[in-house]
């Protein structure tokens, strides 16, 4: 655990220290787009913060490579492929953040980065199916892996609509993944120093390090450079953890735990993923392009309800944490009813927090109407 803690601190510190330099470089390069109608900030803010995230991730990876107890997790070339794919994503993001890029070339670049990861060994070879496991084979496994990587990249990119939203959600997901794998490793007797756990704790570190500059009011945005990188790294954990639990008798992982590597990232980004699907449906039904921007996303609706910028982000953090850690708890504890009861209680509180501004407005309106009626009744009538 000491190695994980050191790796986390390195990732956090390097990302935090690099971000001001990247901010100044973004300003010098002109990556400070004007405020658009759909934006919720009022002043232009520099982008390309993802460069600092990549720097922190690469530094933590390379230092981990020299740590005695973590050297054994670098037995394959997957980490080199991940760094190479991340570098390609950074190049695509810089171009998009500075000069703009159409959806087709951006999608092609994302697919190429996903292909690099699959080529380096980050590939899903089987899927858990109730009662059995579905073997995918090399070609179908490669296609499924590339599709999962590209979808997650775009879902995280779509979540980057408020200060600190994407970084916080991915940090929550990473901590949930680390807790899931570490507890599973202890329970099943796996090696506690592992590649997926290391990637998860590094990813959590870079997110927290960047969030110190990115939470409302943000001084720098990660832009597509960072959002796409976070999606890429998050999916690498998903696919790698799935490969740890082979259905050949080497592990007794079963039930909910068997499905968690596949569904946990989808569950933790359920809100932005649902927002993505609803936006595509909404725009298509309106006869617009699915990529046409609007101001009807979930975070816009939270702001319309009367929540402040920071409170809207914290509410989405809360929902992400509820879904992620409830799922992890169901997979590692033998008390599902207790977990579900606590989850429902916390979720009910979260719903109450969401509706609180509307309830306050209704209460204030009712008091105002009552005061007006009382004043009218107390007023003297016309002389007889």
pLDDT of amino acid 33: 83
pLDDT of amino acid 110: 95
- Helix 50-64 / helix 78-98 crossing angle, nearest 10 deg: 170
pLDDT of amino acid 25: 94
pLDDT of amino acid 12: 97
pLDDT of amino acid 253: 46
pLDDT-based confidence at residue 52 (cuts at 50, 70, 90): very high
Domain interval for residue 64? 1-246+253-295
Q: How many CA atoms lie within 13 A of 356 on its CB side?
A: 12
pLDDT of amino acid 334: 64
Pairing relationship of beta strands 126-129 and 132-135 according to DSSP bridges: antiparallel
At 203-254, the pLDDT tens digits run: 999 999 999 999 988 899 999 999 999 999 988 887 876 655 544 444 444 4
pLDDT of amino acid 105: 93
Q: Token pair of 123, please? A: 């590939």
Q: For residue 112, is it within any domain? A: yes
Q: For residue 350, is it within any domain? A: no
Q: How many CA atoms lie within 13 A of 379 on its CB side?
A: 8
Global pTM reads: 0.83
pLDDT of amino acid 247: 44
pLDDT of amino acid 249: 40
Q: For residue 378, is it within any domain? A: no
Cα angle 166, 179, 327; round to 5: 75
Q: For residue 356, is it within any domain? A: no
Q: For residue 328, is it within any domain? A: no
Q: For residue 117, is it within any domain? A: yes
Q: For residue 12, is it within any domain? A: yes
pLDDT of amino acid 197: 83
Q: For residue 322, is it within any domain? A: no
Cα angle 265, 165, 241; round to 5: 20
Binding residues for Mg(2+): 157, 224
pLDDT-based confidence at residue 260 (cuts at 50, 70, 90): low
Over 80: is that where the pLDDT of 9 sits?
A: yes
At 77-109, the pLDDT tens digits run: 788 899 999 999 999 999 999 998 888 999 999
Report the domain count for the chain.
Answer: 1
CB of 206 within 8 A of CB of 60?
A: yes
Q: What are phi and psi of 198, to 5 degrees?
A: -65, -45
CA 297 – CA 277 distance, rounded (Å) = 11
Binding residues: 157, 224
pLDDT-based confidence at residue 38 (cuts at 50, 70, 90): low
């Amino acid at each position: 655990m000491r190695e994980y803690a050191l790796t986390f601190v390195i990732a956090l510190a390097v990302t935090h220290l690099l971000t001001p330099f990247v901010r100044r470089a973004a300003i010098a390069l002109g990556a400070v787009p004007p405020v658009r109608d759909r934006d919720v900030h009022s002043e232009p803010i520099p982008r390309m913060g993802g460069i600092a995230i990549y720097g922190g991730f690469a530094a933590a990876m390379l230092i981990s490579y020299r740590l005695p107890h973590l050297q054994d997790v670098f037995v394959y070339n997957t980490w080199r492929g991940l760094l190479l794919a991340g570098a390609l994503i950074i190049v695509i993001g810089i171009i998009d953040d500075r000069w703009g890029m159409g959806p087709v070339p951006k999608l092609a670049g994302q697919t190429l980065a996903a292909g690099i990861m699959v080529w380096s060994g980050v590939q899903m070879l089987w899927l858990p199916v109730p009662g059995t496991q579905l073997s995918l084979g090399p070609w179908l496994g490669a296609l499924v892996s590339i599709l999962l990587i590209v979808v997650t990249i775009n879902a995280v990119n779509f979540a980057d609509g408020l200060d600190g939203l994407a970084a916080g959600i991915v940090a929550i997901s990473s901590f949930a993944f680390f807790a899931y794998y570490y507890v599973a490793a202890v329970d099943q007797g796996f090696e506690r120093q592992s590649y997926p756990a290391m990637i998860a704790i590094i990813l959590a570190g870079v997110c927290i390090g960047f969030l110190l500059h990115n939470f409302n009011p943000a001084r720098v945005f990660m832009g597509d450079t960072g959002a796409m990188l976070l999606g890429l790294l998050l999916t690498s954990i998903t696919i790698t953890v799935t490969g740890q639990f082979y259905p050949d008798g080497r592990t007794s992982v079963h039930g909910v735990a068997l499905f968690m590597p596949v569904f946990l990232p989808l569950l933790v980004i359920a809100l932005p993923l649902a927002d993505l699907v609803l936006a595509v449906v909404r725009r298509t039904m309106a006869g617009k392009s699915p990529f046409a921007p609007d101001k009807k996303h979930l975070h816009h609706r939270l702001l319309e309800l009367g929540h402040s910028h920071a409170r809207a982000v914290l509410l989405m953090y809360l929902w992400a944490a509820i879904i992620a850690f409830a799922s992890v708890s169901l997979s590692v504890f033998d008390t599902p009813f207790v977990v579900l009861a606590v989850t429902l209680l916390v979720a009910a509180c979260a719903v109450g927090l969401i509706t609180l501004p509307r309830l306050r407005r209704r209460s204030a309106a009712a008091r105002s109407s009552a005061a007006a009626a009382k004043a009218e009744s107390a007023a003297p009538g016309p002389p007889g």
